[in-house]
Chains A and B, each alone.
Chain A
Amino acid sequence: MHKFLIRRLIQSALLLWLLMTFTFFLTRATPGGPEAALAEAPKYTAEEKARIKARFGLDDPAPVAYVKWISSAITLDFGRSYYYLRPPFDIIKERIWPTVQLGLVAYLFAFIGIPLGVIAAFNRGRLPDVGIRTFTVLWDSMPTWWTALVIITILSITIHWFPQGQGRDGPIDWLTHIIIPAAILGFGGVVTFTRYLRSQVLEVLGQEYVRLARAKGLPEYVVIGRHILRNSLLPVITLMGGFLPGLLSGAALMEGIFRWPGMGSLYLEAAATRDYPLLLAIITMLTIATLIGMLMADIAYGMVDPRIRLSQT
């Protein structure tokens, strides 16, 4: 387990470093970088431009700038946002909490997928199964951003209101604002969980120990609870980590559409204004979050499943 953990940590660090390096040089070495944006700005004199360049470290040759950037990035200092003129990490700290709220509520919705998957598996081929599977296929074929727009349209036509931003007048206001984006976001997870659970339960149902449990006369709720559910629910833990990257990118879409003041909409704003220090900071933070999610899923899976735990040592 320790060996496995250390190897995974090294892999994750390597990935993070590669991605940071890649994105850094991407923002540096291409036309359309910060210099171009500055050169396009007509209202500055040459002198002022030189000062701005010096201030944001644009004078340094790329390798020097890279070493400077990455050594300060390790301490979460990503320079200064071009737009906000503040350290990106401070801005991120303000915007991270709304995204966490959105993500957590979306997760709550996603858990609906667990009973749905179990119900579908126990009724294989019958009406509940067909209904649930039809729903998953339909939802998967719909662009989520469009679903959001249709809901907004319907709401604004019928009751002339649609939730925008983060409700700030007490919990009910907050709830009415978060419920629609979180539900749309979470339904992607419902589909994933339903599919996974259905195939898991079907697989476990065919195992010999389930037949044995029935054969020795255990009551059905013990067979279902202790033998079927326990064995098919365990792998869900890995899904929860794997769902994280999708959740983050989905959150960016929903935040953009519903003007939810989180990291995703911050990222979109930064991309629109070409605020490279902020973009680099956010993508680094998101990669760290993704890697931690994946790593925790692996560790958790190893802890609950003895077979994995033993094979990892």
Chain B
Amino acid sequence: MTQLDRPAAGEASAADGRAASIARGRRTPDEEALEQRVVQGIWGRAWKKLRKDRLSMMAATGLAIVVFITVLGPIFADLVLHTSPESIQRMPDGRVAVLQPPSSRFLLGTDDLGRDVLTRLLYAGRVSLSIGFLVAGISVAVGTAAGLAAAYYGGWVDDIVNACIQFIFNIPGLFLLIILSVIFQPDVVMLSLIFAFFFWPGTARQVRGVAQSVRTREYVVAAQSLGGSDLRLMSRHILPNISNVILVGAGFDVQAAILGESALSYLGFGVRVPLSSWGNMLTGSTDMFEKAPWLVYPPGAMIFITVLCVVLLADGLRDALDPGV
């Protein structure tokens, strides 16, 4: 079968099988195949476009490397470096290796307690990345659901969602986060939940705006008049057409969560010691910088690389998924 006559064949058999499908109350295999091809159409096309975009592919590779080394890093530290994040390192002569500059023995040096910076950096990456992606996941799920419902139903649903968005936007977030952190001393999951609480309105507002315009498009109205249920209309007809907005929102959430977590942890109100994150590795170390400048660069550089890759990738995905182009 050639590429050209595929749609015709699909349509024909879909029409033939309609009576049967109505009788059986479910879709025919042909319809399913057609549908699958349509779904593949969006993602397949996006992937094709994305592969040609050199910057996005570089960002994707960079992100993959960061994830890879933070996931496998602890194993590497255990087997190759024979270190753990809390263990105190010693020099060959038995002294505790305090503030050793980078060398072949300690690739990124050691900190003021004699711990290996590289090992801590790898372990910290797990915490920072988990928070980044967890926050984005929760925020996108809640924000998309809320924004979609607000745009689809309108009326009082819209009013309530809007009121929540307005309310959370006007809260001085960092300051409330600090109070919450002082009182609850949150762990990683709790911290992510608190961050997500402040982040979902951003996604919801974006989704609501785009979904409102998609909601009134002809194909949505057509699907509705054919008797499509609310859930089906939202998930099958509106959602795929706003996927680029959602993905950009997710990218933005990861960026803001990683940066926000690092700032909060740096101040001493985020991830708590003994757990290390890219932010809290530098807490209270300002006084050591003249003696040990090598401590300053690695955590920030890791955050910078990670966030940059996420931002560029999200940007590339938006262009690739833009149905208009």
Interface residues of A (CB under 8 A from B): 11-12, 15, 18-19, 23, 26-27, 30, 32-33, 137-138, 140-147, 149-150, 152-153, 156-157, 160, 245, 248-249, 252-253, 256-257, 267-268, 271-272, 274, 279, 282-283, 286-287, 290-291, 294
Give the contacts of B126-184 with A (CB-CB under 8 A).
166-167, 170-176, 178-184
Chain B residues near A248 (CB-CB < 8 A) = 172, 175
| Segment touching A, from B82-90, B104-112, B297-305 | B297-305
CB of B174 within 8 A of CB of A249, answer yes
Closest to A154 in B: B293
Complexed CA–CA distance, A104 and B14 (Å) = 66
Listed A/B pairs (14) with beta-carbon separation below 8 Å: A12-B170, A19-B176, A33-B183, A143-B262, A146-B262, A149-B286, A157-B289, A157-B293, A267-B178, A271-B179, A271-B181, A286-B175, A287-B171, A291-B170
Range class of the B interface residue count = 35 or more
Q: Mark B249-283, 1 if CB is under 8 A from A, else 0.
A: 00000010001001100111100000000010010
Cβ-neighbour of B170 out of A23, A271, A287 (below 8 A): A287
List the 9 closest pairs (A to B, CB-CB), nearest first: A146-B300, A249-B174, A141-B308, A141-B307, A153-B289, A286-B172, A156-B290, A153-B296, A271-B178
User: In the complex, which of the residues B180, B262, B286, B307 has the most CB atoms of chain A within 10 Å of its own CB atom?
Assistant: B286
- What are the residues of chain B within 8 A of A149 when measuring CB–CB? 282, 286, 289, 296, 300
B312 within 8 A of partner (CB):
yes
* Contact across chains for A272 and B268 when beta carbons are under 8 A apart: yes
- CB of B293 within 8 A of CB of A32, answer no
CB-based nearest A residue for B178: A271
CB-based nearest B residue for A294: B170
Write the nearest CB–CB distance from B290 to chain A, whole angstroms.
Answer: 5
Which A residues touch B179, using CB under 8 A?
Answer: 23, 26-27, 271, 279, 283
| Residues from chain A with Cβ under 8 Å of B289 in the complex | 149, 152-153, 156-157
The answer to whether A253 and B172 touch (CB under 8 A), given A146-B300, A156-B290, A283-B179, is no
Q: Are A15 and B282 within 8 A (Cβ)?
A: no
Chain B residues near A (Cβ < 8 Å):
166-167, 170-176, 178-185, 255, 259, 262-263, 266-269, 279, 282, 286, 289-290, 293, 296-297, 299-300, 303-304, 307-308, 311-312
Determine the chain A residues whose CB is within 8 A of the CB of B262 once the complex forms: 143, 145-146
Measured between alpha carbons, how far is A295 from B3 in the docked complex, in Å?
Answer: 58
Minimum C-beta distance from B117 to chain A (A)? 15
Residues of the B chain whose Cβ atoms lie less than 8 Å from the Cβ of A143: 259, 262-263, 266, 279, 300, 303-304
Contact of B263 among A30, A32, A144, A150 (CB under 8 A): A144
Which of chain A's residues has its CB closest to B173's CB?
A249
Q: Which residue of B lies closest to A293 (CB)?
A: B170
Name the residue of chain B whose CB is nearest to the CB of A137: B311
Query: Which residues of the other chain, B, contact A12 by a CB distance below 8 angstroms?
Result: 170
Chain B residue contacts of A140, Cβ below 8 A? 255, 307, 311
A32 interface neighbour in B183, B269, B308, Cβ under 8 Å: B183
CA distance A142 to B303 in the complex (A): 7
With a 10 A CB-CB cut-off, give which of B171, B183, B267 has the most chain A CB atoms: B183
Q: What residues on A are CB-neighbors of B296 within 8 Å?
A: 146, 149-150, 153
B269 — which chain A residues lie within 8 A by C-beta? 271
The answer to whether B297 touches A150 (Cβ under 8 A) is yes
CA distance A141 to B268 in the complex (A): 21
**Residues from chain A with Cβ under 8 Å of B183 in the complex:** 26-27, 30, 32-33
Instruction: Point out the residues of chain B lying under 8 angstroms from A267, CB to CB.
Output: 175, 178
Contact between A15 and B176 (Cβ–Cβ < 8 Å)?
A: no
In the complex, the answer to whether A19 meets B308 with C-beta atoms within 8 Å is no
